[in-house]
Structure 1
Amino acid sequence: MKLVYSPASPFVRKVAVVLHETGQIDDVDLLPVKTTPVSTPPEVLSANPVGKIPALVRGDGPAIYDSRVICQFLNDRAGGGLYPDTARWEVMTLEATADGILDAAVLMVYETRVRPAHMVYDDWVEAQWDKASRAVKTVNDRWMAHLTGPLNIGQIAIACALGYLDFRHDGRNWRKGNDALDDWFAVFSQRDSMTATRPSD
């Protein structure tokens, strides 16, 4: 298998953490790419017509894409237990919440990196941050019980989302007023899978 990836992508990181945690990292060759919403390399398009990463190129079927699809595929392939039957919908909702944080946080980056400076819409950037920070606060206030216990995809996804906020939006200080989540992340981020996948430009 080949993983079309960028080391800066938080969605790729989620997949990479799953690969590490399920013992499949050596089963995948990494194909690094550089892509933006306005510049998509052909190797990405050949794997995903939407032009987004990550994409997983398989030897026995078409490439699959979207990090949530890839993570479920890898979990099933390894019998990883990351989607427990007893809390499947809660775990998947946490993953969706994390991906929502990332959608907003990535759009903030694109707004200043891709759009010409005179076209940057500051109110729109702040609206994206409001989405991300509101979701972080909700996890801190309502979901901490679901971040305990055996490893699951919700934990992985939330950790990758918080790691990306540190990576790209550290000055926003998501930790303020979210002490429980901050404490949890300080421990979870020391897992071998997290330290091995820290983002880089």
Structure 2
Amino acid sequence: MSVRLTEPSGLMTLRSTETSPFGRKVRIAIDVLGLGARIAVAPANTLDENDTLRQQNPLGKMPCLLLPGSEVLYDSGVIIEYLQEFAGTDRLVPRQGPERYRKLTLATLADGITDAALLMVYEGRFREPGAHSTRWLTHQRGKMLRALAAFEPAPPPANVTDIVSIGLACALGYLDWRQPIAWRPEHPRLEQWLTDFSRHEGAFGRTQAKS
């Protein structure tokens, strides 16, 4: 399937929910890039077979961005890169050079924390209590702990909003909300970083789920 991007002249639509951590990444980017007036947010239900999300993204996953016409973009990283290009800036992801790939690698590491946390949450949500796989949960917990340990010695600058800090803040925010692990006691630098980043970047607080 090929995707041909055109310059959107109308309103774009983000399919996501307030509680989606990857959707939150995109909503922070929209806020930071000043694109709120150009993008509407439409809730999606990944479990509803009748939700048009499954036609918009064959994987049935969110977030996905509907451009005017029939073009659709997914996942969060692709959407954020598109939005920054649309905004005519490179403040979230460097356009080229070694720094671009360093940032994308760290952003992938941060997203991996969220991915593992989601899989732990899904294990509890979709399996009967007696069917939970301790081995699977341990496997996902290990991913999170190793990634957190990699960020702990030197978190990204708290006064910079980019693809790395957005992803890491959303990952830690999701850990605080769903609590698949207690991350704060063993990661004081990351704990302080999240406090400092949330003070620096108002979009983090503005995109927090209300419930």
TM-score normalised according to structure 1 size: 0.90
* Aligned position for 2:59: 50
* Aligned position for 2:87: 78
How much has 1:63 moved relative to structure 2? 0.5
How much has 1:188 moved relative to structure 2? 1.0
Q: Where in structure 2 are the equivalents of 1:114-133 lying within 5 Å?
A: 114-133=126-145
| Counterpart among 24, 30, 41 of residue 35 in structure 2 | 24
TM-score normalised according to structure 2 size: 0.86
Structure with the larger RCO, 1 or 2 (CA within 8 Å, 6+ apart): 1
Structure 2 vs 1, CA of residues 40 and 132 (structure 1 numbering), >3 Å: closer, same or farther? farther
How much has 1:199 moved relative to structure 2? 2.8
Which structure: greater helix fraction?
Answer: 1
**Structure 1: distance between partners of 2:50 and 2:113:** 26
Contact 1:33 1:41 in 2 (8 A): no
How much has 1:122 moved relative to structure 2? 2.1
**Residues 1:193 and 2:186 aligned together:** no
SS of residue matched to 1:3: strand
Contact 1:3 1:29 in 2 (8 A): yes
Mark the runs of 5 or more structure 1 residues left unpaired by the alignment: none
Q: Where in structure 2 are the equivalents of 1:123-162 lying within 5 Å?
A: 123-141=135-153, 143-144=154-155, 146-148=156-158, 150-162=160-172
**Structure 1: distance between partners of 2:58 and 2:164:** 27
* Aligned position for 2:45: 34
Superposed CA RMSD in Å reads 1.8
How much has 1:7 moved relative to structure 2? 1.2
Deviation >6 Å, runs of 4+: none
Contact 2:16 2:42 in 1 (8 A): yes
**Structure 2: distance between partners of 1:66 and 1:6:** 14
Mark the runs of 5 or more structure 2 residues left unpaired by the alignment: 1-11
* Aligned position for 2:177: 167
SS of residue matched to 1:42: coil
**Structure 2: distance between partners of 1:182 and 1:89:** 26
Identity %: 34
* Aligned position for 2:101: 89
The number of aligned residues is 196
